[in-house]
């Protein structure tokens, strides 16, 4: 199961290649579900192996295993997207696509950081961006504007501005990200390139109901409809 360095690279390659043969809309749903279960099981193996690397202070091994985890999460999320689209759950499918894109981008960055070729992941990211453009309808995104007075580091827990860790880099098998602690919200704007593609306009007012931007169905207006959604009306 292992190759040089004790990392389960051969098994990783096998699982990834078999799963990727199923990342197409016509593939059998039950096979896609089974592939995701196999990925989940192997992710547990990788997590245990990464814990061993962390205990041994083997940062190179821990980061290599992180790259494998992120790659597997990418393929699993893409499989989830196709399954959800076939189950008439496009909202969930969109979220899975965004998860796949984010994991793919992170996996490529970690591979480059540890000196491993990331061409395959870069090509996969382009495929996922093409799916966004040609499988899903155009989306309208929202972005929050404001002032962040304090953000903490996920690696050390200290003030990110003073700790020395770099957002997006891997440290002992963990990606560095920031946690906003104190912020002053100023505005919410509609943008074309958001920080988070999950932050988007999902409905707008139409014919006394709410038009779902994904399915184009007219849905009953909930009593708690968002003012932001209500403020946008269907155009002629």
Q: How far apart are CA 97 and CA 81, in angstroms?
A: 6
Is the pTM for the entire model greater than 0.85?
yes
Q: How far apart are CA 236 and CA 234, in angstroms?
A: 7
**pLDDT higher than 80, residue 5:** no
Please give the structure tokens belonging to residue 19. Answer: 């799963």
Specify the pLDDT at position 223.
52
Contact 77, 94 (CB under 8 A): no
Q: What ranges in the chain are assigned the alpha helix state H?
A: 9-20, 29-55, 59-86, 90-113, 119-134, 160-163, 227-230
Q: How many CB atoms lie within 10 A of CB 226?
A: 12
Q: How far apart are CA 71 and CA 103, in angstroms?
A: 7
Task: Give the DSSP per-residue string, 209-220.
Answer: EEEETTT--EEP
**pLDDT higher than 70, residue 227:** no
Please give the structure tokens belonging to residue 186. Answer: 């100023």
Contact 62, 49 (CB under 8 A): no
Contact 176, 168 (CB under 8 A): yes
Please give the structure tokens belonging to residue 190. Answer: 């509609």
* Lowest-confidence segment of 60-64, 144-148, 231-235 by average pLDDT: 231-235
Q: How far apart are CA 104 and CA 74, in angstroms?
A: 5
Residue entry with tokens 């382009």 = 126
Strand partners for 12: none
Q: How many CB atoms lie within 10 A of CB 208?
A: 8
Who has greater pLDDT, 29 or 6? 29
Please give the structure tokens belonging to residue 110. Answer: 């970690």
Q: How far apart are CA 135 and CA 93, in angstroms?
A: 11
pLDDT per residue as tens digits for the range 94-124: 999 999 999 999 999 999 999 999 999 999 9
pLDDT per residue as tens digits for the range 38-91: 999 999 999 999 999 999 999 999 999 999 999 999 999 999 999 999 999 999
What are the CA-CA distances from residue 7 to residues 17, 72, 182, 230 (Å)?
17, 15, 41, 53
Mean model confidence pLDDT for the chain: 90
Q: Does residue 164 sit in helix, strand or coil?
A: coil
**pLDDT higher than 90, residue 10:** yes
């Amino acid at each position: 199961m292992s190759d040089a360095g004790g990392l389960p690279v051969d098994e990783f390659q096998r699982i990834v290649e078999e799963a990727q043969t199923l990342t197409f809309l016509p593939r059998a749903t039950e096979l896609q579900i089974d592939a995701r279960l196999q990925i989940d099981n192997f992710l547990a193996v990788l997590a245990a192996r990464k814990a061993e690397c962390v205990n041994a202070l083997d940062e190179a091994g821990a980061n290599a295993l992180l790259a494998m985890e992120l790659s597997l999460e990418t393929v699993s999320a893409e499989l989830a997207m196709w399954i959800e689209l076939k189950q008439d759950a496009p909202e969930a499918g969109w979220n899975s696509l965004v998860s796949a894109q984010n994991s793919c981008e992170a996996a490529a960055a970690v591979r480059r950081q540890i000196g491993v070729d990331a061409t395959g992941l870069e090509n996969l990211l382009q495929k996922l961006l093409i799916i966004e453009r040609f499988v899903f309808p155009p989306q309208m995104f929202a972005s929050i504007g404001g002032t962040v007075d304090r953000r903490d580091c996920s690696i050390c827990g200290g003030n990110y501005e003073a700790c020395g860790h770099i957002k997006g880099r891997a440290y002992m098998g963990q990606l560095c990200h920031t946690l906003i602690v104190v912020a002053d919200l100023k505005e919410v704007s509609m943008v074309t390139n958001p920080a988070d593609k999950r932050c988007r306009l999902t409905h707008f007012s139409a014919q006394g109901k709410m038009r779902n931007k994904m399915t184009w169905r007219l849905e009953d207006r909930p009593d708690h409809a968002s003012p932001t959604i209500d403020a946008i009306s269907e155009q002629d």
